[in-house]
Amino acid sequence: MGMFCSIIRFENLYELKRLCHWGPIIALSVIAICSAMAIIDAVLWYWPLDTTGGSINFIMLINWTIMILYNYFNAMFVGPGYVPIGWKPENAQDSMYLQYCKICQSYKAPRSHHCRKCNRCVMKMDHHCPWINNCCGFQNHASFTLFLLLAPLGCIHAAFIFVMTMYTQLYNRVSFGWSSVKIDMSAARRDPRPIIPFELSAFAASLFALGLALGTTLAVGMLFVIQMKIILRNKTSIESWIEEKAKDRIQYYQTKEVFVFPYDLGSKWDNFKQVFTWSGNPDGDGLEWPIREGCHQYSLTIEQLKQKADKRVRSVRYQAIEDYNGAFCPVTKGVRTFCTTPCTEEPRIALHKGDHILATRGLN
């Protein structure tokens, strides 16, 4: 009962609209195709249920699907957790170390960042993931990482089923010689099974599912490795980028500062336990964090303020020379502009002729 409640623990029914996005549609379609084809191939042609091994294999396939979907929907609907509207530190003097979010009308708690897609300040934000159409952060980091682990493992099992199905069904029928292909139709008379023949359509479907399974294994497996690396250092993707920018800032201005990431507790096991717990709920409240010895509670936020000030200094002022309505694909601005539209879901900024903007980063 507790597992079911954790799945449906979203703020309101509006959260169901997260499913109406290309990311979840593609992700759930891949899961459905690989799971369904693996079960069909195993039951009909490779490992029927009338054997002990076939029954165990069937149960394992069902379990993979359930665990993958459970962690996927947890990551999507439970969400990352948001900084409360109007939040401010208990000690008013500490606000000088924090950034203020005008949209949320609150200070940004340590390790939190404002997500333009979610339109909220997200606690311990790692990134906004289009595949779950939600942010990965404080509350769902463990579920998201488990999904990244279970999806490749389930796909490896499914890929094994696809390969063995195609191999066993074609081995006695098709003999691949050096110069020709010989068809031996007597195999069907020697083996009364399967009742449903393994025809060209089944072969094509299995081959397609195999491609999806292998592609998912490689792509999602790489994401899992990346996530585990930053989890074992008790960081997020954004914090890793902030740390790199801190080194560049110190080197650029040749100061004698030494930036030490405050949340790396020094032990990989201690860092691991900050995300994965036996209860399934992360430790803490997402607003205050344990820090390593010798660091300040606001070491990271102070560095962010320094980087923000430095970004203003290095920014370049531009003036709009014509109107732009903020369209995602500007068809009226020429072929080159249309074809070089950035690959991002960030909204475009509508401009009027004569408007001034500050560009803080970009390519020449």
Residue 354 lies in a domain: yes
Q: Which positions of the chain have pLDDT values less than 70?
A: 1-14, 172-195, 341-347, 361-364
**Is the same domain home to 298 and 167?**
no
| 187-232 pLDDT per residue, tens | 444 455 556 777 888 899 999 999 999 999 999 999 999 999 999 9
Amino acid at 43: V
**Is the same domain home to 112 and 245?**
yes
**Is the same domain home to 155 and 278?**
no
Residue 171 lies in a domain: yes
How would you classify residue 261: left for phi > 0, otherwise alpha for psi between -120 and 50, otherwise beta? beta
Q: Give ∠ CA 95-238-236 in degrees, rounded to 5.
A: 100
**Is the same domain home to 203 and 242?**
no
The DSSP result for 35-64, as a single string, is HHHHHHHIIIIIS-TTSHHHHHHHHHHHHH
Q: What is the pLDDT of residue 193?
A: 55
State which H helix or E strand residue 32 sits in. Answer: helix 22-41
**Is the same domain home to 71 and 154?**
yes
Q: The whole model's pTM is what?
A: 0.84
**Is the same domain home to 45 and 64?**
yes
Q: What is the pLDDT of residue 362?
A: 56
**Is the same domain home to 106 and 211?**
no
Assigned token pair, 169: 């069904």
Residue 348 lies in a domain: yes
Residue 188 lies in a domain: no
**Is the same domain home to 161 and 53?**
yes
**Is the same domain home to 33 and 110?**
no
Into how many domains does the chain fold?
Answer: 3
**Is the same domain home to 147 and 112?**
no
Q: What is the pLDDT of residue 58?
A: 94
Q: What is the pLDDT of residue 147?
A: 97
In angstroms, how far is CA 356 from the centroid of its own chain? Answer: 36
Residue 239 lies in a domain: yes
Task: Please give the share of the chain, as a percent, with pLDDT higher than 90.
Answer: 56
Assigned token pair, 50: 């009338």
Domain that includes residue 354, residue range:
315-359
**Is the same domain home to 151 and 218?**
yes
* Catalytic site positions: 129
Q: What is the pLDDT of residue 2?
A: 44
Residue 255 lies in a domain: yes
**Is the same domain home to 114 and 211?**
no
- CA separation for the pair 9, 79 (Å, rounded): 9
Q: What is the pLDDT of residue 347?
A: 66
Q: What is the pLDDT of residue 181?
A: 45
Residue 270 lies in a domain: yes
